Structure 1
Amino acid sequence: MTATIEIGAVSVTRVMEWEGLFAPGTELIPASDPQSWDDRRELLAPDHWDPESGLVRACLQTFVLRSEGKTILVDTGAGDHKERPYIPVFGHLETGFLARLEEAGVRPEDVDVVVNTHVHIDHVGWNTYLADRAWVPTFPNARYLFSKADFDYWNPLNGHERRGAFVNQNMFEDSVLPVAEAGLADPWEGDTHRIDANLTLELAPGHTPGLSVLKLESEGERAVFVGDLLHSPVQILSPDWNSCFCEDPDRAARSRRRVLSWAADNNALLVPAHLGGQHAAEVVRTGDDFAIKGWAAFHDDVTV
């Protein structure tokens, strides 16, 4: 449930919250059809897709980065005990995530920075936990980074028309607002936000208005943590295919192509949020599209 790799001077530990069959591939990626999944069976099964049911295998995970003496979390999953009426698979969970985080050497009070790549229920859930029937910040010493575009968009008081309003019901109130009310939220503006010498957030809008990717560049090695820029390897092979959760599909496809191009041209490891099985890919160009050259060497022995 945990695994670590080194990228330059930065260690990256993957801590799993949940893994399982999530949704039919043709529903998650509406531009696809059953044949397109079956044609890619060798790549997708069994880690990313179950041929018998047609369901995508997905996961919720947090990446723990140790950079320049700080402990940084990238995304915080779905969280426990949350009321999620329109996506019950992520509702009322009890996953033992904090215990696994501690097994990886991280107590809540040790975290310095929480990066939410975007504001969706499965990326902000462990921002808070339930204590005495109130939602309080899980990581009391951390600064929580949100793109201001997403922070404002998902605040229900701002009245935006949102495609994902039902799916994300209650999310801002139980997982974002308590952090802001505690004075721990740092909404950032502009196209980029530098965290330290190794880590930079960069907007890649479309899935949400403020989706951001986290670029890691250290000692000549590179990776990019892309959140929900893509949900399945099929979107690497067919980068114009969006998920059903994208707020602005055309913009999402443009962002996906741009980030995939950067990863391929800079030999950067691509680290999506939800891929089952092997979780991070080396991508290369194939004409106007992309292919998977190999997978990251995540291993099971946690080193801290």
Structure 2
Amino acid sequence: MTRENAQRTVLGDVEIIRVVEWRGPFAPARELVPTAGADTWKSNEDWLAPDHWDPEGDLAVMALQTWVLRSAGRTILVDTGVGNGRERPGSPQFHHWQGDFLGLLERAGVRPEDVDVVVNTHLHADHVGWNTRPADGSDGTDGSGGSEGSGGSDGSDGSGGSGREWVPTFPHAQYLVPAADDAHFGPDNAYGGGLHQDDRLVYEDSVAPLHRAGRTLLWDGVHRIDEHLTLESAPGHTPGSAVLRLASGGERAVFVGDLLHSPVQILDPAHNSCFCLDAAAASVSRRRILERAADERELVVPAHFGGSGTAEVRREGSGFRVRR
């Protein structure tokens, strides 16, 4: 496990700051990407290890990170991590998570009140956690989000089962939330149809408070943020999964969220992660986005890649290869 300082780069007129909260072995490689066999990992060991795969333990190496974009005079966050002190009994690695997310942002020159837009590429727990913070102004690191505070609550009071009241972390920001995910994970669809026990908790502590505060904009299809940045639907991983396209000064990038968890999915877009809700749709979206990235020389920026955090993709036969 490593913790890193922010990394900065510029594409066209957009500054990009990568803020890494955590990086390390995350899960058994063939549990994360079930259809990628041992030969796939082993035959690509020379470039998968150590940034994306730990061969000794056969573990996928991943990162928990947020991308800060400074574009057209505004500060934009792409995804907000796990959040501290959250009740996530179905996700042991995220249950009562304790991190220094706000401190990392501050050291990167970003205060909560400076953020103008928050993009949630989708509404899974590790992409929305810092949407909110406790109403008492704490950062959740005092442990009171643990079992003593849960009290068996069903979350209907907005506490997400923690006994806390949650408010938007970024008080001046507009939160861009995929409408299809809001419908799927929200109460109208009974919190994802009860497929995963944490979905209700995530929605109640990290999404519903944004609605109550009037800070959300629900979108579908295509949503233009400014002259450099455009959101596009790429369903499959979740119903509303989205990618964020950057085009500025002749340079291009695409922030793909969880369309990719591992580079082995670039080699064959049919490989889904174990977290994809609609495998067929996810594969279609993945191939479409990778084809465009290869043809238009878009830098691919997944949510959880280790190493540099990015990939240059080229076509190879019916699949793709990672140029670097």
Residue 151 (structure 1) aligned to one of 182, 204, 219: 182
1:178 aligns with 2:209: yes
The 2-side partners of 1:155 and 1:107 are apart by 29
Greater CA drift, 130-139 or 108-117: 130-139
Q: Moved runs in structure 1, 4+ residues, more than 6 A? A: none
TM-score (norm 1): 0.94
> Which ranges of structure 2 fall in alignment gaps of 5 or more residues?
137-163
Greater shift after overlay, 107-116 or 93-102? 93-102
Of 257, 279, 288 in structure 1, the residue corresponding to residue 318 of structure 2 is 288
Q: 2:15 — aligned with what?
A: 11
Structure 2 counterparts to residues 256-267 of structure 1, below 5 A: 256-267=286-297
Query: Shift in Å at residue 60 of structure 1?
Result: 0.9
- Counterpart residue number, 1:302: none
Task: Tell me: higher relative CO, structure 1 or 2? Use CA pairs within 8 A at least 6 residues apart.
Answer: 1
Amino acid at match of 2:29: G
Contact 1:125 1:175 survives alignment (8 Å): yes
How far 1:158 sits from its partner (Å)? Answer: 2.1
Residue 86 (structure 2) pairs with residue 57 (structure 1): no
Change in 2 beyond 3 A, CA 1:45/1:117 = same
The alpha-carbon distance between structure 1 residues 271 and 68, as it changes in their structure 2 partners (threshold 3 A), is same
Deviates more, 1:59-68 or 1:150-159: 150-159
Is the contact made by 2:68 and 2:75 (CA closer than 8 Å) also made in structure 1? Answer: yes
CA displacement at 1:287 relative to structure 2: 1.5
Match of 1:114 in 2: 118
Are positions 1:23 and 2:31 aligned together? no
What percentage of aligned pairs have identical amino acids? 56
Q: Which residue of 1 aligns with 2:166?
A: 135
1:273 maps to which residue?
303
Partner Cα separation in structure 2 for residue 16 and residue 130 of structure 1? 22
Asked if the contact 1:143–1:185 (Cα under 8 Å) also holds between the matched residues in 2, the reply is yes
The whole-number CA distance in structure 2 between the counterparts of 1:292 and 1:163 is 37
Q: CA deviation at 1:134?
A: 1.4
Amino acid at match of 1:165: H
Please state how far the C-alpha of 1:37 moved relative to its aligned partner. Answer: 1.2
* Cα RMSD for the two superposed structures: 1.3
Pick the structure with more strand per residue: 1
Larger-gyration structure (1/2)? 2
Measured at CA, do residues 276 and 163 of structure 1 come closer, stay the same or move farther in structure 2, by a change above 3 Å? farther
Q: Distance in 2 between matches of 1:22 and 1:167?
A: 19
For these two proteins, the number of residue pairs brought into alignment is 293
- Deviation for aligned residue 1:94: 1.8
CA drift at 1:168: 3.4
CA distance in 1, matches of 2:242, 2:8: 23
Per-residue CA deviations over 1:193-227 (Å, capped at 9, x if unaligned) read 00000000000000001001000000111000000
Q: Distance in 1 between matches of 2:168 and 2:290?
A: 34
Match of residue 187 from structure 1 = 218
Partners of 1:85 and 1:169 within 8 A in 2: no
Question: Shift of residue 34 of structure 1?
Answer: 2.0
